[in-house]
Amino acid sequence: MDQLSPPIHERPESSEKAPVYRIAVIQMYPKPMELEANYQTADNFIRSAAKHDATLAVLPEYHLLNWVPHDEKFKEACGQWKEYLERYQALAKECNICIVPGTILELHDAGTEDEVLLNVAYFIDNTGEIVGRYVKKNLWGDIERLHLTSSSTDAHPVFDTPMGKVGLLICWDLAFPEAFREMIRQGAKIIIIPTFWTLADCSKAGLAVNPSAEALFLDSMLTARCFENTCAVIFANAGGPPGKGYAGLSQVCVPYAGALTRLGSSAEGMAVVDLDMKIVEDAELNYQVRADLARADWHYGYKHGHEAKTCLEHQSFRRFRKHLNIREARFATRLTHADSLRGLSSVHTVQLEPVELRAVPQAVSEVLVSHENRFGVDGSEHTRRRGLSWDLNSSKVSTSSGVGGNGRLR
């Protein structure tokens, strides 16, 4: 009797033409307390992204100030948030590009008993309108909890944007699959995550096991979140000088392929990649995650409704904050990311191992744009196949296969 092969369970492919969005993921080094200089760096990157016809440009968390709450002028700088938000709105309209300006630290009710410091991500559309606002929910230990106010029990909102339904998360939110499920159930197909994630976020014990533990964490989580939620993830992390503990690794991920583009070290730079949403549609037809979430017998009981209240609208917000007794805690401990970097001297010498380029769909084209900064990092080591490197200061372009001599994508 002949051995019969087991039947292959075929899933249909998406028949409708899915949109393709050109994404610019920006990995910039936020110089501590250099508010205007950091904005100008971001402005240059965004204008460069617009010249490459990007639909969306995404900046890292804390990109305007870094995270230095111990600095005596930190709060004063956080009070300028509205000015810079409005400048990003004007830039989006001028350049006809959607912008997620990383996160912006907002000081509200300064000098009163209701004073709060919020870590906020915005989605600004290409007309300059704010179509999404999210306050960071999952704060990173006492480093953030002693200074920031979380959005606490508010639901994770999903926003209607020119790119369809989009969700916003911030940094440590990545570690919680529940956040993704909540947004996927509301129809989000793209999740954008501005981040300030350093190698020093790993303990000494963890670094002793694997000096690249945080890189493994990030790559594993980003890929897993794409597959388990049939969504695209845009992850923009802070970069910085080599040997100073910055993780980098900014990337755009999708199911099946994993990272479509990945900035493989901490160097400051930008990658532009075409995100074909057909990959996401086909993954859903195959895995049917959203279909399962919509079933009447869905059995994990996520209780949040689709209507999300903002942090400042939450009924118990002010009462909740008073019980935290934050002011006394601030005097007790002054932990910061910078303190962590200084305290873990072994982190300063950590070098990420080189990562093999992943095979990606033929339809994907990409370009890496980096510029020389004051630390002498020109990003040339990250120039990818089918890409180009571009010095923003001199506008010199060098091309490789897949890009025409005029610097335009094929």
**Domain containing residue 133: CATH number:** 3.60.110.10
Say which range, 232-241, 306-315, 393-402, has the weakest mean pLDDT.
393-402
pLDDT tens-digit map of 98-117: 999 999 999 998 888 889 99
Q: Residue 9: what pLDDT?
A: 52
Say which range, 124-133, 230-239, 303-312, 367-376, has the weakest mean pLDDT.
367-376
Q: Residue 269: what pLDDT?
A: 95
pLDDT tens-digit map of 20-33: 999 999 999 999 99
Mean pLDDT of the region 277-286: 96
pTM for the full predicted model: 0.74
- DSSP E strands: which ranges in 19-178? 20-27, 56-58, 98-100, 104-108, 116-124, 130-135, 158-161, 164-168
Mean pLDDT for the chain overall: 78
Helix (H) or strand (E) holding 275, with range, is strand 269-276
- Identify which of 282, 267, 295 has the alpha carbon closest to the alpha carbon of residue 380: 267
Residue 300: pLDDT band with limits 50, 70, 90: confident
pLDDT tens-digit map of 112-133: 888 999 999 999 999 999 999 9
Question: Domain total for the chain?
Answer: 1
Is residue 356 domain-resident?
yes
Q: Residue 15: what pLDDT?
A: 60
Query: Would the pLDDT of 34 be above 70?
Result: yes
Distance CA 379, CA 253 (A): 21
Helix (H) or strand (E) holding 192, with range, is strand 190-195
Query: Would the pLDDT of 171 be above 80?
Result: yes
Q: φ and ψ at 10, to 5 degrees?
A: -85, 140
- Identify which of 174, 178, 186 has the alpha carbon closest to the alpha carbon of residue 235: 174
**DSSP β-ladder status, 232-237 and 190-195:** parallel
Q: Residue 3: what pLDDT?
A: 52
Is residue 117 domain-resident?
yes
Query: Would the pLDDT of 219 be above 70?
Result: yes
Distance CA 336, CA 67 (A): 7
Backbone dihedral region of 115: left (phi > 0), alpha (psi from -120 to 50 degrees) or beta?
Answer: beta
Is residue 185 domain-resident?
yes
Q: Is 152 exposed, middle or buried (0-12, 13-18, 19+ CB in 10 A)?
A: middle
Is residue 5 domain-resident?
no
Say which range, 170-179, 210-219, 279-288, 311-320, has the weakest mean pLDDT.
311-320
Higher-pLDDT residue of 303, 36: 36
Task: Determine the longest span between alpha carbons in the chain, in angstroms.
Answer: 84
Q: Residue 400: what pLDDT?
A: 33
Is residue 187 domain-resident?
yes
DSSP 8-state code for residue 61:
T
Domain span at 365: 22-293+306-399
Distance CA 110, CA 162 (A): 35
Mean pLDDT of the region 34-42: 97
* Three-state SS at 94: helix
Higher-pLDDT residue of 61, 347: 61
Helix 35-51 vs helix 81-95: crossing angle, to nearest 10: 20
Say which range, 71-75, 263-267, 299-303, has the weakest mean pLDDT.
299-303
Is residue 8 domain-resident?
no
Is residue 10 domain-resident?
no
Is residue 244 domain-resident?
yes
Q: Residue 117: what pLDDT?
A: 92
Query: Would the pLDDT of 184 be above 90?
Result: yes
Query: Would the pLDDT of 191 be above 70?
Result: yes
